[in-house]
Structure 1
Amino acid sequence: MINRLTRLYALLCIGALLVLGCSDKKEEEVKAFVANYCSVLQDTYAKADMKQLVPLATEKELKKIFPLIQALNATNNSMRTEIVDYKIVRTKVADNEATVRTDEKWRYWWVDRTSGLITKQKQEESYQLQYNLIKVDGRWRVDSVQNLKE
């Protein structure tokens, strides 16, 4: 009887470790995804081209970014950015959805693509963001980004 209880306890412990281990792996995966998304977003602004962002975001989120890209192209500008501070505050992962909350500080400015002159001076903005992710065809995508300060 004691042997069975010991075996059951051991199996429960192993199961818990496997679940926690998988959970940590999933959290690390979504954290890395959001960090990569921010990097690709920076490049999207710099090139004023959304092509590389398409596989990382849903149509819903792309529609929010499109007007800025359109404005940059209409004025022959690109937006340069620096991520001054980036901290992940919390992650929550379910089967096909996840949320990642961050504290971020971005510095940005606009540059004329022909002359290279700064057309909009450097500014810094601090954000508390929540990235809402969904899995589409087995891959994470940003479905929406909420500014929690607004």
Structure 2
Amino acid sequence: MALMTGSHVKALLLAAPFVFVASIASAGGSIPTTVTTTNNDPSLFLGMSWTFGSGGAPGTPGITLKALSTNKRDSGALTGGVTYNFDGTFGCDIGVAYNTSGATITSSYDICKRGFQMGLGATKSPTTTTTTSYMNTDQNR
């Protein structure tokens, strides 16, 4: 019986992964594939706002609740909502928003108070779904 030399052992170790993959493929094995999807949905925004006064009137801070067209991160959205201003008045506004990874910034026009408004707050993060499927590698089917 002949002994294996160092070069024989090295060749065997290098060939082992290929033999393993070939045996899985020929035996009808499967390869896992993982896919992660992000569900970007319309969302609610809750935050602090500042409504700039029209015609020289002073601006007012407030709490605002808005509906956003999407909660996709690092993306723009359309928005519309209502604001309770700390001077006791209410506002209704439409505008645009930008969702960052940690906050949402809004810029809108308050139709009721006839002034521009800026807001900073939060929206619900998009949900992610991860699924794993197995690809059949059997070539004889």
Could you tell me the TM-score, scaled by structure 2's length?
0.33
Could you tell me the TM-score, scaled by structure 1's length?
0.31
Structure ID, larger Rg = 2
Please identify which structure carries the higher strand content: 2
Please identify which structure carries the higher helix content: 1
**More contact order relative to length (CA 8 Å, sep ≥ 6):** 2
